[in-house]
Structure 1
């Protein structure tokens, strides 16, 4: 598998997982009684956290692996 294909597949997988986490966070916020803007803010925060975590793990692995 070429390296570019692997990178694109990984990026797509991370984005799909981040979108799923954001959707669940928004739904849980609405079930908790939050307004729509507050639920969207929580969903956006969860999406950003997942993407940031993925970038941090990638940076840590890049520093360790040759």
Structure 2
């Protein structure tokens, strides 16, 4: 496998995991009684947090 294909597969997996986490966060917010805009905001924050965490781990591993 080339380095580009590994990079693309890893990026796709991270985005899919972020979407899954955002969906779960939105569903849990709705089950908790939050309105749709609030649940969407919580899902968006979770999506951004997962992507930020992935970027931080990547930069930390790149330094090693």
TM-score by shorter chain over 0.5: yes
Structure 1 residue runs of 4+, over 2 Å off? none
> How many pairs does the alignment contain?
64
Unmatched tracts of structure 2, length 5 or more = none
Q: Within 5 A, what are the aligned runs for 1:7-26? A: 7-26=7-26
Question: 2:51 aligns to what?
Answer: 51
When normalised by structure 1's length, the TM-score is: 0.96
Over the residues paired in the alignment, what is the CA RMSD in angstroms? 0.2
Unmatched tracts of structure 1, length 5 or more = none
Q: Distance in 2 between matches of 1:49 and 1:63?
A: 21
